[in-house]
């Protein structure tokens, strides 16, 4: 072999040794990084064990046997059906209970509840608040512990008469077809009322006497914000029990859903803020045979178009409730993409990866926009009095659910900034929330922005989760209910609890820091959602709600996890 060939061979051997050394150091490093990523997920979304009240275990077994009987099921389903047949519709323009006769339907529901749950009404103290809202007190034997409060509402969203023929079964039939219970309120929220009362009636029939007082609070106008019902209930409870006097509140809200073979239960621990903004466009009138370039309705349309062309952008924040939910999905969701799992792990410390995760979620998660940002919906509009008269006053109302990291003040500033150029374009004076914006010179008319119904509400205080005893009690109760379910369908018993977002408990904030919005309804237990046609609940799903309320009362009765 020639000298040159020997030199080339030696060079190749040296290169091979260098490559081997490079990969021998690189591969362990990559493996360590991959292992570190996996280990990082291990620390996310800690869970508790399923919780069953050991001292009441025999009672719980007896009740589950009873709940699984055909006779009990049919009676419970009819209890809900009968409540649905009483159309307790809530209208935005309801007057005072003492003046508006539309409230009187609530009395019919009161009488129905009294006849359907005789032991409840013979044992618990019922107080009517502001005429039609209800508070029940099941007095416990131990005054040293704080009460448990279960909240729900008696009212329902009205059914549009024009849609009656679109319902598979009439909207107030309460019909049970062997699988579904049909009608307005079957999901929102008469199961909360009937489910909790059924649980207590069943416990009373078995002679149970609670050591911890149990309170029930049933509002009458939750569907318009609770101004008449929950607001008065909150004041009453505050007067009777004092601030921070309730151990835990469980209201309607989150439920559970199957994600890749694992059931995710999502009790809401935070609430978005709220505000309805009204836009009034005031312009000169006149005969419509000589119209201006844009009528008031045209200007209002331009405002709406500009607002919808510039929606609020969602944003991720570490430690916020939606982000905590992502951590749970990254760890437990079997169909959560591996690339997103890595981003969740990397975003713990990298702002760049946090932004990248947010961008990916816009396409991946349909609810990301609604849960992580302020939402806006133009829901009401009006104006004009005659076809040949130019409209002098037209208006619209935009509904907003304010992100938990924002505020009404921030919303008003943004709303003003978006509408100001439209006002200038049409030579209109802009009065934004009591302030004159822009030029004070002559104008053709006025655009006025205001809080439509004195509705501005800051986001709620966040309920403590990881490491919080009340959250552990609720989580353990949810898990035990899911893992022992009485369903006949193929239902996974693998379950985790993950925090979520909701609304509706503003009137009870002073009573406790531990407020959970959770109704224990499965995602597939609603036929067509709520506030729309063909509202119906799967009967077996409603039965599980009764079981949840039963276990919650018994777990809360025998625990060191609540004050």
Asked if 293 contacts 400 with a C-beta cutoff of 8 angstroms, the reply is no
Largest CA distance in the chain: 113
Active site residues: 155, 222
Distance separating alpha carbons of residues 201 and 508, to the nearest angstrom: 25
Burial class (CB within 10 angstroms; exposed 0-12, middle 13-18, buried 19+) of 399: middle
Would you state the structure tokens that stand for residue 319, as one six-digit string?
Answer: 């430690």
- Distance (Å, whole) CA 342 – CA 344: 5
- What gap in Å lies between CA 508 and CA 363, rounded to an integer? 36
Query: Are 544 and 552 within 8 A, CB to CB?
Result: no
How far apart are the C-alpha atoms of 292 and 286, rounded to whole Å? Answer: 10
What's the CA gap between 440 and 295, in Å, rounded? Answer: 22
Report how far apart, in Å, the C-alpha atoms of 319 and of each of 249, 272, 466 are.
23, 15, 11
Contact (CB, 8 A) for 390 and 284? yes
**Among 272, 318, 264, 324, CA closest to 465:** 324
Sign for the CA dihedral angle at 310, 311, 316, 317 comes to positive
């Amino acid at each position: 072999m020639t000298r040159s060939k020997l030199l080339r061979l030696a060079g190749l051997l040296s290169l091979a040794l260098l490559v081997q050394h490079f990969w021998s150091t690189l591969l362990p490093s990559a493996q360590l990084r991959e292992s570190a990523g996996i280990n990082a997920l291990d620390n996310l979304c800690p869970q508790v064990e399923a919780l069953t009240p050991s001292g009441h275990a025999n009672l719980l077994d007896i009740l589950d046997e009873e709940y699984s009987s055909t006779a009990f099921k049919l009676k419970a389903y009819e209890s809900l059906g009968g409540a649905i047949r009483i159309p307790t519709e809530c209208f935005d323009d309801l007057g005072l209970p003492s003046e508006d006769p539309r409230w009187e339907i609530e009395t019919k529901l009161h009488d129905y509840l009294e006849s359907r749950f005789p032991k409840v009404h013979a044992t618990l103290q019922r107080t009517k608040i502001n005429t039609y809202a209800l508070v029940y007190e099941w007095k416990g034997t131990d005054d040293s512990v704080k009460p448990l409060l279960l909240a729900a509402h008696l009212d329902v969203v009205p059914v549009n008469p024009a849609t009656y023929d679109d319902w598979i079964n009439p909207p107030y039939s309460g019909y049970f077809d062997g699988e579904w219970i049909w009608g307005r309120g079957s999901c929102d929220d008469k199961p909360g009322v009937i489910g909790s009362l059924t649980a207590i009636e069943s416990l009373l029939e078995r002679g149970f006497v609670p050591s911890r007082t149990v309170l029930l609070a049933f509002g009458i106008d939750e569907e318009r914000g609770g101004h008449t019902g929950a607001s008065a209930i909150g004041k009453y409870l505050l007067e009777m029990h004092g601030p921070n006097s309730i151990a835990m509140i469980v209201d309607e809200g989150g439920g559970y859903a199957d994600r890749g073979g694992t059931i995710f239960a999502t009790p809401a621990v935070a609430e978005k803020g709220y505000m309805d903004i009204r836009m009034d466009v005031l312009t000169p009138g006149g005969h419509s045979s000589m119209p201006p370039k844009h009528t008031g309705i045209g200007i209002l349309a331009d405002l709406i178009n500009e607002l919808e062309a510039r929606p609020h952008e969602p944003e991720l924040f570490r430690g916020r409730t939606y982000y905590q939910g992502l951590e749970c999905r990254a760890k437990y969701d079997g169909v959560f993409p591996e690339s997103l799992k890595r981003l969740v792990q990397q975003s713990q410390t990298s702002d760049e990866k946090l932004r990248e995760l947010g961008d990916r979620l816009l396409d991946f998660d349909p609810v990301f926009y609604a849960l992580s940002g302020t939402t806006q919906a133009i829901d009401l509009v009006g104006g004009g009095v005659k076809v040949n008269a130019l409209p002098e006053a037209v208006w619209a109302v935009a509904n907003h659910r304010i992100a938990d990291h924002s505020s009404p003040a921030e919303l008003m500033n943004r709303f003003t900034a978006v509408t100001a150029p439209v006002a200038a374009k049409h030579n209109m004076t802009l009065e934004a929330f009591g302030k004159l914006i822009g030029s004070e010179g002559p104008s053709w008319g006025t655009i006025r922005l205001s809080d439509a119904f004195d509705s501005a509400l800051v986001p709620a205080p966040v309920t403590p989760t990881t490491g919080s005893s009340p959250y552990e009690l609720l989580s353990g109760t949810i898990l035990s209910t899911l893992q022992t379910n009485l369903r006949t369908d193929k239902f996974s018993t693998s379950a985790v609890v993950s925090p979520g977002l909701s609304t509706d408990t503003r009137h009870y904030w002073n009573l406790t820091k531990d407020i959970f919005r959770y109704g224990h309804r499965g995602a597939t237990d609603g036929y067509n959602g709520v506030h729309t046609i063909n509202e119906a609940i799967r009967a077996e799903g409603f039965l599980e709600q009764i079981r949840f309320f039963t276990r919650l009362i018994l777990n809360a009765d025998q625990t060191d996890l609540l004050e």
